[in-house]
Amino acid sequence: MPKERFLSRFSVFDLVVIAMMASLGIAIKPVVVPLAHIITGPLYIPGGVIAGGFYMLWLVLGAGLVGKRGTATLIALVQAIMVVAIGVFGTHGILSLITYLLPGVAVDLVLLITRHRGCCLGCCFLAGIAANISGTFLVNIVFFQLPLVPLILSLSSAALSGGIGGIIAFNIIKQFKKFNVINREL
């Protein structure tokens, strides 16, 4: 019953936005990751660290557009299920349930702690950083197990990329608000 109450807080429009954000986040990955490998390959940094900011922005964007607690986690859960079920690019197998879910939880935690809902540049910036750092750190623990110096370089790069993704998400949210696509106050 609690699951039904959680989902009942979302309108059909909200659920469509959540599905679109999850799909766009998965669809952009095969395009962005190879481009990021050009930059990160010579530095021995996993490509997802830089690319992550651009596919984590969909979590922040979805949270900002819907404006309800738990949105980013729900987007991340849908992404994880899609990746496991379809086996798309960059899958980590069943561990994708965890590696995809944690960034969504991180976004929702930042928005909960700051008492924001993807409404301003600061909260979107911090949410993007949290999403990409948490994803990078978890993938490092599970798969790469980098030594300390490359790990710090990876996490720093993840913070920069995630922050940029958050800024991009905020600017998109602002444009949706400007054209009255979303009606809540920012």
Query: Tell me: the pLDDT tens digits for 151-185?
Result: 888 899 899 999 999 999 999 999 998 888 776 55
Domains of the chain by start residue, with CATH = 10-178 (1.10.1760)
> So what's the pLDDT on residue 20?
95
CA distance 50 to 153: 11
Closest alpha carbon to 21 in 79, 70, 69, 68: 79
Q: What angle do helix axes 47-66 and 12-40 make, rounded to 10 degrees?
A: 160
> So what's the pLDDT on residue 32?
82
Closest alpha carbon to 50 in 141, 153, 142: 153
- Intervals of the chain under pLDDT 50: 1, 186
Instruction: Indicate the average pLDDT of the chain.
Output: 86
Which residues are CB-contacts of 161 (< 8 A; sequence separation ≥ 6)?
A: 49, 50, 51, 52, 53, 54, 132
> So what's the pLDDT on residue 21?
95
CA distance 158 to 143: 16
Backbone angles phi, psi at 146, to 5 degrees: -65, 150
> So what's the pLDDT on residue 186?
45
Q: What global pTM score does this model have?
A: 0.87
Is the Cβ–Cβ distance between 60 and 124 less than 8 Å? Answer: yes
> So what's the pLDDT on residue 68?
92
Is the Cβ–Cβ distance between 100 and 139 less than 8 Å? Answer: no
> So what's the pLDDT on residue 3?
61
> So what's the pLDDT on residue 26?
87
> So what's the pLDDT on residue 51?
82
> So what's the pLDDT on residue 91?
61
DSSP 87-154: --TT--GGGHHHHHHHHHHHHHHHHHHHT-SS-SHHHHHHHHHHHHHHHHHHHIIIII---HHHHHHH
Residue pointed to by tokens 């952009």 = 28
> So what's the pLDDT on residue 53?
83
Is the Cβ–Cβ distance between 66 and 186 less than 8 Å? Answer: no
